[in-house]
Structure 1
Amino acid sequence: MQQFTEHQIDGVVVVSAVGALDMLTAPRLQEVISTALDRRPSGLVVDLTAVDFLGSAGMQVLMTTRKQLEGTVRFAVVADGPATSRPLKITGIADYVDLFSTLDVALHNLAG
């Protein structure tokens, strides 16, 4: 099974991750995000719904992406539950990255 998938919904690219997001898999996530951004989408959503472990390397990718996009492309992260939203809140990343509990809510927010 592919760990990272990507699709487009109304000009917004959604990158979905599955499984563990750690120092082994984070570089691949960064590649998928960079490739998606080359197409100049109106927004980017990283969907962590199916992630069962979010390590510091994965969180670093989110912060790097946010800095890279600052003011150019709207960016959101879907994370709900102890494996993903909790570490993002504890580390303070949730203060810098727009965090949503579902993909629908994130897409609705970016469309607004």
Structure 2
Amino acid sequence: MTQVPIQRGARPLPQDYLKVRSEYVGGVAVVRFEGDVDALTGTTMAAALAAELDGAPAALVIDLSAVGFLGCAGLSVLVETDARSRGAGIPMCLVSTGRAVLRPLFVSGLRDRLRVRPSLSRALLDLGCAV
């Protein structure tokens, strides 16, 4: 039987696993995520999206093109963000072509509820904010 030592000490912070970049294109808030969205990083994602919605943008684009894993926590954040954006009258669109994002959206039934486009330019066009 091989014993594996238990590592103690500082754990990597969630932001080490998920990078967030925000910018505005016209009046549209574009939030890009890179990394994994899971139970550790879901709060990071939620905080970034809430901050953008607090600014009342003309529309919100969530770019998940560089997301390698989208877990239940990430799906929950997307549902909450969708509900909040609809309530505020702010159109929302997701960007992704990756299986790691599209598969969980499809399996959960969210693919039919959320607007998903293959590129930022297509999302902006569909939102009526082409630049």
TM-score by length of 1: 0.94
1:91: Cα distance to partner? 1.0
Alpha-carbon deviations, 1:57-99, whole Å to 9, x = none? Answer: 0011000011111151000011212111121112111111101
1:77 equivalenced with 2:94 (yes/no): yes
The 3-state SS of whatever aligns with 1:95 is: coil
Structure number with higher strand proportion: 1
Matches of residues 25-104 of structure 1 in structure 2 within 5 Å? 25-70=41-86, 72-104=89-121
Deviates more, 1:8-17 or 1:62-71: 62-71
Give the structure, 1 or 2, with the largest relative contact order (CA under 8 Å, sep 6 or more). 1
Q: Where do 5+ consecutive residues of structure 2 fail to align?
A: 1-15
TM-score by length of 2: 0.81
Which residue of structure 2 aligns with residue 10 of structure 1?
26
Distance in 2 (alpha carbons) for counterparts of 1:89 and 1:107: 22
The 3-state SS of whatever aligns with 1:93 is: coil
Q: Which amino acid aligns with 1:93?
A: L
- Give the length in aligned residue pairs: 112
Distance in 1 (alpha carbons) for counterparts of 2:74 and 2:96: 13
The 3-state SS of whatever aligns with 2:84 is: helix
Q: Where do 5+ consecutive residues of structure 1 fail to align?
A: none
Alpha-carbon deviations, 1:8-62, whole Å to 9, x = none? Answer: 0010001110010111111111111111111110100110000000101001100
Q: Is the 8 A contact 2:53 2:85 kept in 1?
A: no
